[in-house]
Structure 1
Amino acid sequence: MAGAHTVVAVHDEKGPGPAPAPEPPPLFDQAFAADPYPAYAWLREHAPVRWTTLPSGVEAWLVTRYDDARRTLADPRLSKSPRHHSERSAHGKGKVGIPGERSANLMTHLLNIDPPDHTRLRRLVSTAFTPRRVAAFAPRVQELADRLVDGFAGRGEADLIHAYAFPLPIYAICDLLGVPSEDQDDFRTWAGMMLHQPGSPRGGVGRAVKRMRGYLAELIHRKRETLAAEGGGDDLISGLIRASDHGEHLTENEAAAMAFILLFAGFETTVNLIGNGTYTLLRHPAERARLQGAVAAGDTGMLDAAVEELLRYDGPVELATWRFATEPLTVGGQRIAEGDPVLVVLAAADRDPERFADPDTLDLARRDNQHLGYGHGIHYCLGAPLARLEGRTALATLLRRLPDLRLAADPEELRWRGGLIMRGLRTLPVEFTPAPSDPASPV
């Protein structure tokens, strides 16, 4: 790892010198991608706030202990705006956001702005994710889950990422945004390009982002015309347009950027929650059987607790998105200069033994589980209620309809997507007894 060093023990007539410092494990290689938790344990113990060169070439501070992480996520001295990124590192500007968003003029979204603009924009979309509205969306999510399982249940095998975990949140967020059904497969294609899904057209993330941006601008224009003539619907994009047209000062770029980030953040996190969660259950048969019994008995409390533990144990977001110091500050005893990038390692914080008992043990009934899987503070994930609903529904449907689901590959053969912020499987091949396409009543 860049920046690693070795302290050589020195011996003299007074006796041995200091013991050699342990070598840090490699970061960001293939073995790390498959299981980053031993490396994060080393960082928590030996270098809880460490200046590190990332795979993109950008340098940043990694924060790995729970208490430091929680404070850092809520620290107003750390800005979300890339304009605060200094020139300290040899590499840097333009490489700290979502690929393609700058060239597509999509920078003015919730992940890149601070109050008061963040407060204003978050208020505009918060009504879409109230518990009441999310609960009303539950039947649609169940319908999507069952329809997707129907598509492969009779075959006895499937790649659960491609056939299930990936399309479910795409179609759900498209419904929420108000993307017409005839256009939703285009979004699935563009999202597949962003995640490098098998069978997706080549062209890169930037190309997919530009296509989404162009489509969203056109859709906003069409919906504005519909609203003027007919009043329009109650989807999220229509709501953003109404707010813009009634004094909330939402620009067209802001509306397009908002729709984009809700789509981007609203699908990949849930793809990973479903994929990682299913994989974890398959690797822990006793806990999986425990949850399967709860699902069969209609124990929604156990199901809710299980989703929280899966979010903690191997969550969909490995690192929180970028933050930049607006002034010198100290985190975990480490001095951080103005303009330095800071990345909170959620995956490391959520396995901190100072906060969680037996953190490397999966306990689906864990009670004290204030994990940071969806962040903390004013940038806490706005779509977390919807993601939880989708994850809960997707996992319960699999356990109910495919009770003998099993992994169809050696775990060492599986590959994990890079990209630093997110953590998710590229594929998840499974086998099961072919099942009918007539589901029982949902949990």
Structure 2
Amino acid sequence: MPDNLADPAFHANPHPSYAAWRRDGPIRRVRLASGTVAWLITRYDDARRALADPRFAKRASDIRHPSNAIDRALSNHMLAVDPPDHTRLRRLVSAAFTARRIEALRPRISDITHELLDKFPADAPFDLIDAFAFPLPIQVICELLGIPADDRDKFRRWSNIIVGGVAYQDKYPRAASAMVGYIQALVAARRADPGDDLLSGLIGVRDSGDSLTEDELISMVFLLLIAGHETTVNLIGNGMYLLLSQPDRWQRLCADPALIPTAIEEFLRYESPVETATYRITTEDIDFDGQTIPARSGVLIGLLSANRDGDRFPDPDAVELDRAHNPHLAFGHGIHYCLGAPLARLEAQIAFTALAASHKNLRLAVDESELTWRPGLLLRGLFTLPVTPG
């Protein structure tokens, strides 16, 4: 009988289940909230190997092909396809994410960070995700793409529904249609009045005939918008949760900000912002660790589980802010390794540094048991993080 991954108790705290599965059945059949049965990979070595194995394909054309225009417009980006399409699409945006270009964003990210900090209430509880963890990365990616940041609340609403899985299935068609319509209008406006932003650059590539279809253009903008902020929202939110739920950790970080880079890697490992890698499909029967996964099977690769594997990480269930060697899989591995990882790390480094310098007395405003995690298997993050300035 497949394990049920739709159980609300599992979403509230999946770590005990993952630990048992790594021990007793690391490659196992599971039932998703949609009713689909897939295979789940839970151990670190297996996950790393699967992420780099082309037989775990993103899309096999004879198996999985979106049938309607909205789904096609949202599923023709580089994260959803295999080479050679993946290679071509990644090349078209990789220039915007070089180390030099990301570092050049540091002053602007710092400015946005301090603008947000200045708006924190002085003596009243507030939601750190609403006030900080969300608006920081969404404003950065909006400015990078050339999208009005005033529309960020729309993106958040649509994004929560689109990545929320079955929990929002009734709302998905309208949200997806609204997102596609918005991007189409934005592309039309930027075509008429191009700038020096990434969106104008992608439109220029499309219109110069460099093998970028209109669906791919819309889909790439969608991916950059969603992936460009969701991971960082959860990285900042989950990290602050781990710090404030054990106040001695927060005080230690505030007293020694040199720990921030290694602490960020530990947040990425311990409470990974992405719970499972995006869906794969096996292109043939695969013998994997003594278990045969049949051809045309759906596969989930458990990043959150792999990052707590005791065979790879000493004392995996402890938060070690100074963990020296931390080869976590939070950003994936192989050809689909997250292109925006340097940007997420830079945003987090600036965010935690500024918070530690200006809000040493920050603390949780509710009991930890009152916090709730977003549903679904793709992302791992809290709905809200109520805090008080101290």
TM-score interval w.r.t. the shorter chain? over 0.9
Matched, 1:147 2:115: yes
| Partner residue of 1:415 out of 372, 375, 379 | 372
In structure 2, C-alpha distance between the alignment counterparts of 1:403 and 1:192, rounded to whole Å: 31
2:359 to 388, 402, 406: 402
**Residue 75 and residue 84 in structure 1: after superposition, are their counterparts in 2 closer, same or farther (change >3 A)?**
farther
1:252 is matched with 214
Aligned residue type for 1:107 = S
Instruction: Specify which of 82, 85, 105 is matched with residue 117 of structure 1.
Output: 85
State the distance in 2 between where 1:181 and 1:36 align: 34
Distance 1:114 1:195, change over 3 A: closer
Q: Residues of 2 paired with 1:286 and 1:73: CA distance?
A: 36
The 8 Å contact of residues 73 and 218 in structure 2, kept in 1 or not, is answered as no
1:257 alignment partner, SS class? helix
Deviates more, 1:218-227 or 1:62-71: 218-227
- Matched position secondary structure for 1:286: helix
Candidates 247, 262, 276, aligned match of 2:238? 276
Between the aligned partners of 1:102 and 1:49, the Cα distance in structure 2 is 33
What does 1:85-96 align with in structure 2 at a 5 Å threshold? 85=63
Q: How does 1:37-436 map to 2 (within 5 A)?
A: 37-81=15-59, 83=61, 85=63, 102-103=70-71, 105-191=73-159, 194=162, 204-227=171-194, 232-233=195-196, 235-295=197-257, 299=258, 302-433=259-390
Deviation at 1:401, TM superposition (A): 1.5
Q: Tell me, which stretches of 5 or more residues in structure 1 are unaligned?
A: 5-25, 87-92, 197-201, 434-443
Once the two structures are aligned, what percentage of the paired residues are identical? 49
Instruction: Write the deviation string for residues 87-109 of structure 1: whole angstroms up to 9, x where unpaired.
Output: xxxxxx979xxxx9854632211
Is contact 1:85-1:340 (8 Å) kept?
A: no
- Higher relative contact order (CA closer than 8 Å, sequence separation 6+): 2
CA distance in 2, matches of 1:101, 1:272: 30
CA–CA separation in structure 1 for the residues paired with 2:294 and 2:45: 20
Alignment of 1:25-36 (within 5 A): 27-36=5-14
Q: CA deviation at 1:211?
A: 1.5
8 A Cα contact 1:193 1:203, kept in partner: no
User: One-letter code of the match for 2:173?
Assistant: G
Distance 1:191 1:405 in 2: 28
Give 1:303 shift.
Answer: 1.5
User: Aligned to 1:308, what secondary structure does the other structure show?
Assistant: helix
The alpha carbon displacement at 1:317 in A equals: 0.5
Instruction: Give the letter aligned to residue 236 of structure 2.
Output: I
User: How high is the TM-score relative to the length of structure 1?
Assistant: 0.82
Following superposition, the deviation at residue 414 of structure 1 comes to 1.1
Deviation string 1:280-330 (CA, Å, 9 cap, x unpaired) is 0112333322221222xxx3xx22111111100111011111110011112
**Residues 207, 407 of structure 1: alpha-carbon distance in 2 compared, 3 angstrom cutoff:** same
Is the Cα–Cα contact under 8 Å of residues 141 and 172 in structure 1 kept in the other structure? yes
Letter in 2 for 1:210: S
- Per-residue deviation, residues 122-154 of structure 1 (Å, max 9, x unmatched): 000011111111111112222222222222232
Q: In 2 relative to 1, CA 195–376 (structure 1 residues): closer, same or farther, beyond 3 Å?
A: closer
State the secondary structure of the residue aligned to 2:351: helix
- CA distance in 1 between partners of 2:8 and 2:71 (Å): 30
Q: Give 1:33 deviation, angstroms.
A: 2.1
Q: Does the CA contact (< 8 Å) of 2:70 and 2:176 recur in 1?
A: no
- Larger helix fraction of residues: 2
TM-score of the aligned structures, taking structure 2 as reference length? 0.92
The number of equivalent residue pairs is: 386
Calculate the aligned-residue CA RMSD, in Å: 2.3
For 2:56 and 2:69, the matched residues in 1 are separated by 21
CA separation of 1:39 and 1:193: change in aligned 2, threshold 3 A: closer
Q: Which residue of 2 aligns with 1:9?
A: none
Query: Contact 2:277 / 2:302 at 8 angstroms: preserved in 1?
Result: yes
SS at match of 1:154: coil
For the 8 Å contact 2:364–2:388, the answer to whether it is kept is yes
CA 1:416/1:183 → structure 2, altered by over 3 Å: closer, same or farther? closer
| Offset from partner CA, 1:373-425 (integer Å, 9 cap, x none) | 00000000111111111222222222221111111111111111112111110
- d(CA) in 2 for partners of 1:144 and 1:79? 39
